[in-house]
Structure 1
């Protein structure tokens, strides 16, 4: 049985006859009769009392009417829901990001929520190394990374340019210096993130290249903890510039330039190359592009060639 058969069945009931149902549905009476006959054959039970001209239902007909009404109601609800989805009156957006890249998302999400307030957004905290896998197994729709994933099934767009900065608290002797050499940092105590990452490996390589000790006496689980601990007067740190904008503006931390530690980073928005993005994700990408055009550097919108 299909929904068109059930629609015809309910029309016969509501119009109390085959001819009036045919007129309502702009079909011939034989066509209506044929549809009902096929429905009865599929069910294996008569639906109407043949002795009645007004479409009196049998017991099977009474039972089917209730289910037919439910199914057609569900069709209407599904149609309405899909229309709401297209018009962004509902929907869900699932993004994977880590502590650092999530900070980029905040101004974008602020604009997205203003434009699409009925779309629910879930930003899941995830290890950057696992995000490509999450995208490919479709557990998330968009991901934020600081490296271009090698898998050809993923598409990356550069959305923000950042750099690593060396920070100290305002009372630290180096806070008065505009620039220091990396070899002056051999006696410093660095607060480090305890998650192994490409950035951590890059920093270690640079210190080795310049034959300078890198003393990581304290390792903490988050960038927020590192910033606060340094601001309390405990050592120094190398952190993404995006993560310390407010602390630098408030004077809680001081940035000191280290020419040998120039590390530029791009934040990438990544999604599956194949398949269709949801309406919510498409709208989000438009907001990302708009934020880039309105704000300029360090925001950007530059698709990465495969």
Structure 2
């Protein structure tokens, strides 16, 4: 099998029909059908359910789809790596991050643009739990997470230490408390992030262990939505410190800490252990390291393994 066959196969799978794939690839439908038939002969299995007009994959087709995408991603990576040998300005930086971890990237991306103004930067929004899979599938080259990755094929570097803090409207009775006890929160209404995470689980477990009621009556999909809802005096929220710095500075939100919920968040850059990083990605790691030396404080550059 060759890469063109795999590309044709993936196009048919994505488009859901041979005719649509033919238009996408600027080829005739018989040519597409012949390419797929030859691929099926080489594999010895049917890849599409011919009784359906929607290009439904067979079990063998579903298995091949995963590996075909990996091979095509490898081709893209190889071509990109060869092109970057000429000059860094033609590179591409691909990073996977979720809504919150993007905030940690911004200061370093600013410095990176100064150093590599012609490099194309693509920050792909993805769930933190999917970052290891995206890295191993080579969909991204760097990924940001706030948990320790246990896959031996991946490495990580801690670049920032953050903490979770409670935020509320400045007029809330607890706004001036500074340090709170978890028992003071049993009657409060919480605005929560509805995306599962290790920190969400820790908070729930802590309330349960302390026998304190946890009223999560509102769950929203983004941190921005949570902040705006809290600013409307609709409850309290537990958010990463970096995500509310500006609102607290402007007096739109007030903050407090709870000693039982003093959870530190370590932000990590992860990448493949045995893969040769592109010049663009190596340059970003260099920027992250020099940024930590310059800024200090919560910024650091600490390889984990």
Q: How high is the TM-score relative to the length of structure 2? A: 0.72
Aligned to 2:178: 178
| The structure with more radius of gyration | 1
Q: Does 1:228 align with 2:228?
A: yes
Aligned to 2:118: 118
Q: In structure 2, how many angstroms separate the alpha carbons of the residues matched to 1:109 and 1:144?
A: 13
Q: In structure 2, how many angstroms separate the alpha carbons of the residues matched to 1:182 and 1:84?
A: 53
Q: In structure 2, how many angstroms separate the alpha carbons of the residues matched to 1:82 and 1:125?
A: 27
Q: In structure 1, how many angstroms separate the alpha carbons of the residues matched to 2:153 and 2:82?
A: 28
Aligned to 1:160: 160
Aligned to 1:49: none
Change (3 A) 1:179 1:84: closer
Q: In structure 2, how many angstroms separate the alpha carbons of the residues matched to 1:91 and 1:178?
A: 47
Q: In structure 1, how many angstroms separate the alpha carbons of the residues matched to 2:87 and 2:158?
A: 28
Q: Does 1:140 align with 2:140?
A: yes
Q: Deviations over 1:84-143 (max 9, x none)?
A: 654312111110000111100000000001110100000000011111000001010000
Question: CA contact under 8 A between 1:144 and 1:267: conserved in structure 2?
Answer: yes
Question: CA contact under 8 A between 2:84 and 2:278: conserved in structure 1?
Answer: no
Q: In structure 2, how many angstroms separate the alpha carbons of the residues matched to 1:276 and 1:260?
A: 43
Q: Does 1:101 align with 2:101?
A: yes
Question: CA contact under 8 A between 1:85 and 1:91: conserved in structure 2?
Answer: no
> Secondary structure in 2 aligned to 1:201?
helix
1:186 Cα deviation from its structure 2 partner:
0.5
Unpaired segments of 5 or more residues in structure 1? Answer: 1-80
> Secondary structure in 1 aligned to 2:130?
helix
1:252 Cα deviation from its structure 2 partner:
0.9
Aligned to 1:261: 261
1:258 Cα deviation from its structure 2 partner:
1.3
Runs (4+) off by over 2 Å: 81-87
Aligned to 2:299: 299
Aligned to 1:36: none
Aligned to 1:270: 270
Q: In structure 1, how many angstroms separate the alpha carbons of the residues matched to 2:105 and 2:85?
A: 23
1:42-121 aligned within 5 A: 85-121=85-121
Question: CA contact under 8 A between 2:167 and 2:236: conserved in structure 1?
Answer: yes
Calculate the aligned-residue CA RMSD, in Å: 1.5
Question: CA contact under 8 A between 2:98 and 2:126: conserved in structure 1?
Answer: yes
Q: In structure 1, how many angstroms separate the alpha carbons of the residues matched to 2:84 and 2:277?
A: 16
Q: In structure 2, how many angstroms separate the alpha carbons of the residues matched to 1:90 and 1:109?
A: 17
Unpaired segments of 5 or more residues in structure 2? Answer: 1-80
Q: In structure 1, how many angstroms separate the alpha carbons of the residues matched to 2:283 and 2:105?
A: 14
Aligned to 1:190: 190
Aligned to 2:250: 250
**Matched pairs, number:** 226
Q: In structure 2, how many angstroms separate the alpha carbons of the residues matched to 1:180 and 1:127?
A: 31
Q: How high is the TM-score relative to the length of structure 1? A: 0.72
1:301 Cα deviation from its structure 2 partner:
0.1
Q: In structure 2, how many angstroms separate the alpha carbons of the residues matched to 1:254 and 1:86?
A: 51
Q: Deviations over 1:34-69 (max 9, x none)?
A: xxxxxxxxxxxxxxxxxxxxxxxxxxxxxxxxxxxx
Q: In structure 2, how many angstroms separate the alpha carbons of the residues matched to 1:109 and 1:83?
A: 22
Q: In structure 2, how many angstroms separate the alpha carbons of the residues matched to 1:303 and 1:186?
A: 39
Q: In structure 1, how many angstroms separate the alpha carbons of the residues matched to 2:98 and 2:233?
A: 26
> Secondary structure in 2 aligned to 1:89?
helix
